[in-house]
């Protein structure tokens, strides 16, 4: 049960207009989410994909839902099938979907219907370079991100690569909702520091819930 008076209760922080951190929002569900990640990875394993420029990403990824995000020499895109198996991506576990909807609603986005959940896995040293998420057709939908395991320093920029960067520490159970005017801002993850998380071990996971296709 969500107890607003316990030491562990979630709290809300605004980063910029359109970006809200729900601190510890997913913490009570972490074990369920980890089981879901393992079930997805049993069907569609984590893999380090190649960027269009020919670099292998340090972050390992998989997806669930109707669409999965992929990159290869041909470019970045969403695809309904896992290129490793040519099978559809595993279905999105219902508890993933519900959590993302609840978080979006708390940030003011009612009726969020993600069709994709990208799962990022970071080992110590892994990072994500500054980028924009602009492969989604439904720009009215937010992106919801859930962090599990080792903490990471997230860098949040502006609409140009050269805009000033604001660091935000994302910790186990933190959920961030990015929408509206923050939806296309540049962002990245600094190299994850070595450590051991009691539940997750020496890893950081990030789930990002997206609406890749247009709402009907
Ligand atoms: C801000 N993932 O998968 S989550 C990504 O922690 C990605 O793995 C990071 O960036 C991670 O694309 C950051 C936070 C996030 C996700 C999407 C955003 C921040 C965003 C879209 C627009 C603005
Ligand atoms: Fe991103």
> 187 CB under 6 A from ligand 1?
yes
pLDDT tens series, the chain, 216 aa: 666 666 667 898 888 888 999 999 999 999 999 999 999 999 999 999 999 999 999 999 999 999 999 999 999 999 999 999 999 999 999 999 999 999 999 999 999 999 999 999 999 999 999 999 999 999 899 999 999 999 999 999 999 999 999 999 999 999 999 999 899 999 999 999 999 999 999 999 999 999 999 998
What are the chain's domains? Answer: 27-163+173-210 (2.60.120.590)
> 101 CB under 6 A from ligand 1?
no
Q: How far is the CA of 91 from the centre of ligand 2 (A)?
A: 22
Atom of ligand 1 minimally distant from the CA of 147: 6
Structure tokens at 2: 């969500």
pLDDT of residue 201: 98
Q: How far is the CA of 141 from the centre of ligand 2 (A)?
A: 14
Strand positions, DSSP E, 10-161: 11-16, 19-23, 60-64, 68-72, 75-79, 116-122, 128-131, 143-149, 152-156
> 145 CB under 6 A from ligand 1?
yes
Atom of ligand 1 minimally distant from the CA of 170: 6
Give SS3 for 104: helix
């Amino acid at each position: 049960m969500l107890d607003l008076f316990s030491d562990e209760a979630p709290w809300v922080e605004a980063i910029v207009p359109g970006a809200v951190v729900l601190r510890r929002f997913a913490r009570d569900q972490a074990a369920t989410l980890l089981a879901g990640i393992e079930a997805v990875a049993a069907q569609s394993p984590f893999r380090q994909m190649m960027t269009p420029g020919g670099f292998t990403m340090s972050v390992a990824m998989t997806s669930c839902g109707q669409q999965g995000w992929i990159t290869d020499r041909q470019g970045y895109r969403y695809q309904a099938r896992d290129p490793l198996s040519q099978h559809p991506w595993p279905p999105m576990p219902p508890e993933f979907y519900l959590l993302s909807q609840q978080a979006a609603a708390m940030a003011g986005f009612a009726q969020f219907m993600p069709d994709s959940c990208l799962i990022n896995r970071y080992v110590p040293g892994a990072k994500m370079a500054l980028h924009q998420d602009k492969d989604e057709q439904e720009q009215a939908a937010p992106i919801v991100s859930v962090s599990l395991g080792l903490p990471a320093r997230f860098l949040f920029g502006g609409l140009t690569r050269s805009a000033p960067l604001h660091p935000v520490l994302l910790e186990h159970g933190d959920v961030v909702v990015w929408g509206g005017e923050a939806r296309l801002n540049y962002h990245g993850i600094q190299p994850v520091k070595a450590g051991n998380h009691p539940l997750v071990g020496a890893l950081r996971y990030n789930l990002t819930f997206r609406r890749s296709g247009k709402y009907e």
